[in-house]
Amino acid sequence: MMARPLKGRGSGKADSVLITGGAGFIGCNLAHRLASEGRKVLILDNLSRAGVEENLSWLQATHGDRIEAVVADIRHKETVETAVARARQVYHLAAQVAVTTSLVDPTHDFSVNAAGTLTLLEAIRAQDEPPSLVFTSTNKVYGKLPGVNFAAQGDRYGPKEALLAGRGVGEEQPLDFASPYGCSKGAADQYVLDYARTFGLPMAVFRMSCIYGPHQFGTEDQGWVAHFLKRALSGEAITLYGDGRQVRDILFVDDLVDALILAQDRIGSLSGDAFNIGGGTANTVSLLELLDRFPSLIGVKADVTFDDWRPGDQPWYVSNTGRFFARTGWRPRVGVDEGLMRLARWLTDARAVPTDRQRVAS
């Protein structure tokens, strides 16, 4: 876990924002917004995911010395401490992000997600003026929603309880960690909340649903909306695990960035709380329904195959974002069709698919 600084050493703590995992999909979009507003952004990322080096190069070319990067692992204690000492705000996005990977190597998953988060929290606690923190957790901390009964309704699953179907899952839902990934992110989630409450540190947690948008190089294991679009635009088959009726509330990344920045702005009143963040009931889609939109949206019909359900997969998950709305006024603004079109255009413009398959509708 060697640390390697990149070009562009910044100066001072004045208005610096630290984004762990800042070259990733969400981190890149967040860094772009902050730098566009004149903020100094320090990115700490080990560049282990495909596509993130391109994201970082784009950020540095676009924003120059407003973006400083250090190539390092979140578990590298000394580098994390140095980075935290320079920041007034921290967004903690660095993580091992795939359930499947956690099943193959649970030890690595734990060391990055749980132990890495604890390293960051200790670095924050050691500061005379601790920076505020927003941590991106996951809806997987709720497991398969034990006690909720599901039924197939056409091309989608839904809960039999009408109230839950109409509102989505709230923060009162009992935690039920499932899979090593759910356990490691859940442990980190609880540590962040405890450090806020026990040590009085300004920290909040986002339990996020499915986020999608530009700069997402989706894979079969994570970032499924981008993965589906990439495969369809490239003429490659898409594998659905289960029957494809799984429902998610998908959230366009610009809306998430709005929420992240708003959480930092309101951290004094939000600290010590967790918030479910997603597209909500207005932006739900099943896997089958998403694929059915492709011919009209991008001019391509997807080739689909099916395989067995994967461990920890939820038949239905929709976020109730009412708590965060009540505290901040935030709500999603980008609908599913608009968001899909914007992502598809970015994928083709970025030449993430072969040029002879670039048939995104105008």
The reported pLDDT for the residue numbered 351 is: 60
Q: Which of 48-57, 150-159, 198-207, 314-323 has the lowest mean pLDDT?
A: 48-57
| pLDDT exceeds 70 at position 14 | no
Count up the domains in the chain and report the number.
1
The reported pLDDT for the residue numbered 314 is: 86
What kind and span of H or E run contains 329? none
Asked whether residue 340 is domain-assigned, the answer is: yes
Tens of pLDDT, residues 229-259: 999 999 999 999 999 999 999 999 999 999 9
Tens of pLDDT, residues 166-219: 999 999 999 999 899 999 999 999 999 999 999 999 999 999 999 999 999 888
Distance CA 204, CA 135 (A): 6
| Cα separation values, 81 from 3, 16, 23, 147, 300, Å | 12, 15, 19, 42, 48
Distance CA 299, CA 306 (A): 22
The reported pLDDT for the residue numbered 355 is: 39
CATH number of the domain encompassing residue 124: 3.40.50.720
Asked whether residue 220 is domain-assigned, the answer is: yes
In one-letter notation, the amino acid at residue 334 is V
Q: Which of 177-181, 186-190, 320-324, 349-353 has the lowest mean pLDDT?
A: 349-353
Tokens linked to 301: 């019909």
Asked whether residue 349 is domain-assigned, the answer is: yes
The reported pLDDT for the residue numbered 220 is: 78
Percent of the chain residues topping a pLDDT of 70: 93
The answer to whether 193 and 272 are in contact (CB under 8 A) is yes
Distance CA 208, CA 184 (A): 15
Asked whether residue 282 is domain-assigned, the answer is: yes
Distance CA 122, CA 191 (A): 11
| pLDDT exceeds 50 at position 81 | yes
Q: Look up the domain containing 348 and give its range.
A: 95-353
Average pLDDT over residues 151-163: 96
Asked whether residue 269 is domain-assigned, the answer is: yes
The reported pLDDT for the residue numbered 222 is: 81
Asked whether residue 34 is domain-assigned, the answer is: no
Quick check: is 91 catalytic? no
| pLDDT exceeds 90 at position 25 | yes
Candidates 91, 142, 157, 181; catalytic one: 181
Distance CA 55, CA 53 (A): 5
Asked whether residue 77 is domain-assigned, the answer is: no
The reported pLDDT for the residue numbered 362 is: 36
- Work out the end-to-end distance of the chain between its first and last CA atoms, rounded to an integer number of angstroms: 46
The answer to whether 217 and 283 are in contact (CB under 8 A) is no
Distance CA 89, CA 6 (A): 21
| pLDDT exceeds 50 at position 79 | yes
Q: What does the mean pLDDT of the chain come to?
A: 92
The reported pLDDT for the residue numbered 13 is: 58
pLDDT band at 15 (very low <50, low <70, confident <90, very high): confident
pLDDT band at 11 (very low <50, low <70, confident <90, very high): very low
| pLDDT exceeds 50 at position 361 | no
Asked whether residue 54 is domain-assigned, the answer is: no
| pLDDT exceeds 90 at position 325 | yes
| pLDDT exceeds 90 at position 89 | yes
Average pLDDT over residues 42-68: 95
The reported pLDDT for the residue numbered 121 is: 98
Average pLDDT over residues 125-138: 98
The reported pLDDT for the residue numbered 218 is: 83
**What is the model's pTM?**
0.92
